[in-house]
Amino acid sequence: MHILLVNPRGFCAGVNRAVQILELAVARYSDKTIFAYHEIVHNSYVVNHFATQGVRFVFSLNDVPNHSVIMFSAHGVSPQIFDEAVKKSLKVIDATCPLVSRVHQAVKNYVEKGYHLIYIGHAGHDEVVGTVGEAPQKITVISSEQEARNLKYQRTPNNLSYKDLQLACLMQTTLSITQTQQIVNILREQFPNIEIPERNICYATKNRQEAVQILAKKSDMALVIGSANSSNSRRLCEIAEQQGIVSRLIDGVDEIDPHWFSGKETLLITAGASAPEYVVQSCLAHLCSMFEVSVEEIVVCEENVVFPLPNDWI
């Protein structure tokens, strides 16, 4: 079997930064329990790694004692969570990806200017909850073409008609580029004056998706390494499937089933933006131990983005 190892894959700059900040925090506060609000990134290996170092992952600040150290994940949190942390006198370590912060800022700017926002994203995802929390009454979340079409006949949370409003559209950073474009086209058709800024979906999502789209054409199966709750990993699977090949999302080596590869000649391997490279390498080593394989790494685009650490962590 021939393996096409996709490059770029795995950790993006935002995940790298969040993981580095938590590593430094574990060292700096070695005498304290560090609490992390939600998963630092959506990957079970990363979460388990920090859990074994004593980091406690919580889903509510009620589970965090006053005056503790709390880490906010790469997905960001709503202003309400920041306020709650202040009330509890928590020491906040904010690892929100700068590209997610940029969307929060865009929400604030538009709302200040009187816009209502259509936000394309998966309701309930940590990033969506955090962003929508900036202005819940001024944001409508949609996730499909049908929901975009329906807006014409619906009213906002403040009971206003969308047609009568100044609208702008923002979106979750890890969506499928092609599916989102279809939703955007419908919004433009229905609301010709809607403002849609460029650079909504992040560079890492775009690069990983485009690479899979290109290389899936040369493959007959895709193995995507990433956790089931990782939005960008799931999108990579979908994109491979859209190119007509079988696609499997695996958290790690234990989930590999040798039967999957029967009759397969070219296997594409990639990893979502929160999947560590050592998991990719262990999967490769496992495949090499089971089958006769040749591995070819293909660089579809160079990726050199680095987000600096916040000043107090340098």
Q: Which amino acid is at 141?
A: V
- Which of 207, 219, 230, 232 binds ligand SF4 (CB under 6 A)? It is 232
Least separation in angstroms between residue 223's CB and ligand SF4 is: 20
107-115 long-range Cβ contacts below 8 angstroms, 24+ apart: 107/131, 107/134, 107/135, 107/139, 107/170, 108/134, 108/135, 110/168, 110/170, 110/195, 111/135, 111/138, 113/166, 114/166, 115/165, 115/166, 115/167, 115/168, 115/195
Burial class (CB in 10 A: 0-12, 13-18, 19+), 190: middle
Q: Which residues contact 123 (CB under 8 A, 6 or more apart)?
A: 141, 143
Does residue 175 belong to the site contacting ligand SF4 (CB under 6 A)? Answer: no
Least separation in angstroms between residue 203's CB and ligand SF4 is: 7
Which CA distances in Å does 306 have to 138, 204, 298? 33, 11, 21
127: annotated active-site residue: yes
Binding to ligand SF4 in span 244-273, by CB under 6 A = 273
- Which of 1, 4, 5, 13 binds ligand SF4 (CB under 6 A)? It is 13
Does residue 224 belong to the site contacting ligand SF4 (CB under 6 A)? Answer: no
Does residue 100 belong to the site contacting ligand SF4 (CB under 6 A)? Answer: yes
Binding to ligand SF4 in span 113-172, by CB under 6 A = none
- Which of 93, 142, 202, 275 binds ligand SF4 (CB under 6 A)? It is 202
Least separation in angstroms between residue 43's CB and ligand SF4 is: 11
Which C-beta is closer to ligand SF4: that of 225 or that of 287?
225
- Which of 22, 61, 74, 142 binds ligand SF4 (CB under 6 A)? It is 74
Classify strands 167-171 and 116-120 as parallel, antiparallel or unpaired: parallel
Which C-beta is closer to ligand SF4: that of 138 or that of 235?
235
Report whether 1 contacts 261 (CB < 8 A): yes
Choose the catalytic residue: 84, 127, 134, 238.
Answer: 127
Which C-beta is closer to ligand SF4: that of 174 or that of 219?
174
- Could you give the CA distance from residue 10 to residue 57 in angstroms, rounded to a whole number? 23
Does residue 205 belong to the site contacting ligand SF4 (CB under 6 A)? Answer: yes
By beta carbon distance, the residue nearest ligand SF4 is: 14
Which C-beta is closer to ligand SF4: that of 42 or that of 116?
42
Does residue 44 belong to the site contacting ligand SF4 (CB under 6 A)? Answer: no
Does residue 207 belong to the site contacting ligand SF4 (CB under 6 A)? Answer: no
Q: State which H helix or E strand residue 94 sits in.
A: strand 91-94
Q: Which residues are catalytic?
A: 127
Q: Which residues bind ligand SF4 (CB under 6 A)?
A: 12-15, 74, 97, 99-100, 173-174, 202, 204-205, 232, 273
